[in-house]
Amino acid sequence: MFGYYLDLAFRNLKRNPGLTALMIGAVALGIAVCVMTLTMYRAMSGNPIWWKNDVLFSVTMDFWDPQQPYWDKKPELAPEQLTYRDAMAVYESDIPKHKVIMHKAVGILSVDGSSVKPERTVTRVTTKDFFAMFDVPFQYGGTWTDAADTGPEPVMVLSRKMNDRLFGGENSVGRRIRWDDNEFRIVGVRDNWMPLPTFYDVNNGSLEEPEDVYIPFGWNVALELPSAGNTNGWKPEDIQTYQDFLSSESVWIQMWVELPDDSARGKFQAFLDNYAREQKRAGRYQRPLNNRLTKVDQWLVDNNVVSNDNRVLVGLAFAFLAVCLLNTVGLLLAKFLNNAPMTGVRRALGASRRQVFFQHLVEVGVISSIGALLGLALGGLMLMGLRALYTVDPTDAGGTQALAHVDMTSVATALLLAFFATIAAGLYPAWRIGRIPPASYLKAQ
């Protein structure tokens, strides 16, 4: 029976090609715009480490200006980064399973005797747990030791991309490399890793690719590295030396911890609060006690990673899909009613309402499938156009390269959503046509 309905559906589609084309076009366009917008939305706001959402926490502490909150618009939040002295003090705690303090820096990477030109690379100055905590995969080797962080030892982890460029992709563990003219030894090559957005450091463009180079945290003091990200302060301070900077009230360090269960979380929260109370006695932390452990999903919301533009775009996508679906319902209705006399004959010859309903639903299915295929192709074209809009300099590995890494699941989600919405849109017309009394169409014949 299904085969027969399919055959009928194709015949009916051919009967008025103009109307059919209009319908398929509307479905395809609706699906394409939805696929594009939702893909973009997901790329910008998805939780890239959802499987660890309940155990990963960003650490923020409110020691800001007693006169005014860090953020006027969200006065309940603490600054999104820590001061060096607070970060070092809190890092001492052994309650978390994993803990990381870090910041971004920039250095010139070069290999002695290599034909590859020295290159300015964005570098993450971090502690050893970074990779285990964020589930960063390794191609070769692995992370460094605790001693390397405090030493600091001249060890480095490269990205696979950078390893491909500098060493032709071979296992470079143990090779020598220079970072700002200091010799380092490679201990690991991280495999391709593309957390979207880069949740662990949201104050520097959340759509950027992760860093290509990782070095132990102790190097910031050893090399007097400034942060390549935002540094914010509230207190006028006379900062003359790097040591002044380290003990200042400027925030520039990001901190994350992994707390496996509620009891660890409670303990760590108490540890933070105790630390803040101690600092209060020393004259710091003048604001009400506000030490926060924030999960990744909440963190993305707090930090406005989902921009208002994005929310408007998603609203627009749904408005668009709604118009396309209303359109499809209207056109399907028109088309089915156009064929009502024939349906009347079929009903008179013994087809049940149920059968008529299913026959028309098959027709809707054919239209949605063709529309979905076309829509997918069209959506792909639109995404390419979108990428072109965002590419400022094709050679520049910047910001929205991220859009190049569209993952298939988000495309599939959008596609399925649109497909089933179209089928749902066909339910009413198919039901309506089944309820037509056959007699009125037979009389005139």
Partner 1 sequence: MTAWNLRPIASALWRNRTGAILVAFQIAIGLAVLVNAVYVVKQRVEKIARPTGMDTANMIWVASAGFAKDYDYDASWREDLATLRELPDVKAASLFSNIPLSGGGSSNGFQPRPGEVTPKETVQGNNYDVDEQAIAALGVKLVAGRPFEVHEIQPPSEAFEMSPQAIVTQAFAKEMFPNDPNPLGKTFYDGLSKPITIVGIMEHMHGAWVGWDKLDHVVLFPRIKDGPNAVYLVRAEPGRRDAVMRDIEARLGDSNPGRLLRWVRPFDYFIHQSYLDDRNMAIFLSSVTSALLAITALGIFGLATFNVSTRIRQIGTRRAVGARRMDIVRHFLVENWMITTAGIVAGCGFALAIGYWISIKYELPRLDLYYLVGGVLTIWLIGLFSALQPARRASTISPAVATRTV
Chain residues in the site for partner 1 (CB under 8 A): 19, 22, 25-26, 29-30, 33, 65, 67-68, 107-108, 110, 117-120, 180-181, 236-242, 244, 307-309, 311-313, 315-317, 319-320, 322-324, 326-327, 329-331, 333-334, 337-338, 386, 389-390, 392-393, 432, 444-445
C-beta of 120 vs 277, nearer to partner 1? 120
What phi and psi values does residue 255 have, to the nearest 5 degrees? -135, 135
Q: Which is nearer to partner 1, 92 or 238 (CB)?
A: 238
Q: Which contacts qualify for 307-316: CB closer than 8 Å, 24 or more apart? A: 307/44, 310/40, 310/41, 310/44, 310/45, 313/37, 313/40, 313/41, 314/37, 314/38, 314/41, 316/37
> How far apart are the C-alpha atoms of 161 and 421, rounded to whole Å?
41
Instruction: Give whichever of 296 and 433 is closer to partner 1, judged by the CB atom.
Output: 433
- Smaller CB separation from partner 1, 243 or 409: 243
Q: What does the radius of gyration of the chain's CA atoms come to, in whole angstroms?
A: 30
Residue 310, classified by CB atoms within 10 Å of its CB into exposed (0-12), middle (13-18) or buried (19+), is: middle
Give residue 175's identity as a one-letter amino acid code: R
Q: Is the peptide bond prior to 195 cis by the omega test (within 30 degrees of 0)? A: no
Distance in Å, CB of 261 to partner 1, minimum: 38
Q: How far is the CB of 181 from partner 1 (least distance, A)?
A: 5
Instruction: Report how far residue 318's alpha carbon sits from residue 415's, in angstroms, rounded to the nearest whole number.
Output: 13
Q: How far apart are CA 38 and CA 51, in angstroms?
A: 21
Closest CA to 7 of 249, 366, 369: 366
Smallest distance, Å, CB 207 to partner 1? 11
Contacts of 135 (CB under 8 A, 6+ apart): 49, 51, 52
Alpha helices in 211-338 (DSSP H): 219-222, 242-246, 262-281, 296-302, 308-338
Cis peptide before 152 (omega within 30 of 0): yes
The residue (of 136 and 403) whose beta carbon lies closer to partner 1 is: 403
Q: Which is nearer to partner 1, 127 or 206 (CB)?
A: 206
CB 60 within 8 A of CB 80: yes
* Least distance CB 339 / partner 1 (angstroms): 12
Pairing of strands 182-190, 155-159: parallel
Taking the complex as a whole, the smallest distance from the CB of residue 92 to partner 1 amounts, in Å, to 29
Residue number with CB closer to partner 1 (92 or 181): 181
Distances (CA, A) of 192 to 39, 133, 435: 21, 16, 58
Q: Are 189 and 163 spatial neighbours (Cβ–Cβ below 8 Å)?
A: yes
Token pair in block for residue 334: 């028109």
Cβ proximity to partner 1, 183 vs 191, nearer residue: 183
- Quick one: 46 or 229, whose CB is closer to partner 1? 229
58 membership: H or E segment, kind and range: strand 56-61
CB closer to partner 1 out of 136 and 331: 331
b/e map 354-388, b = 16+ CB within 10 Å: eebbbbbbbbbbbbbebbbebbbebbeebbeebee
With CA atoms as reference, report the closest residue to 299 among 39, 78, 69, 93. Answer: 78
Q: Which of 63, 71, 75 is nearest to 275 (CA)?
A: 63
- Of the two residues 392 and 408, which places its CB atom closer to partner 1 in the complex? 392
| Tokens at 392, concatenated | 């400022």
In terms of CB distance, is 80 or 258 closer to partner 1?
Answer: 80
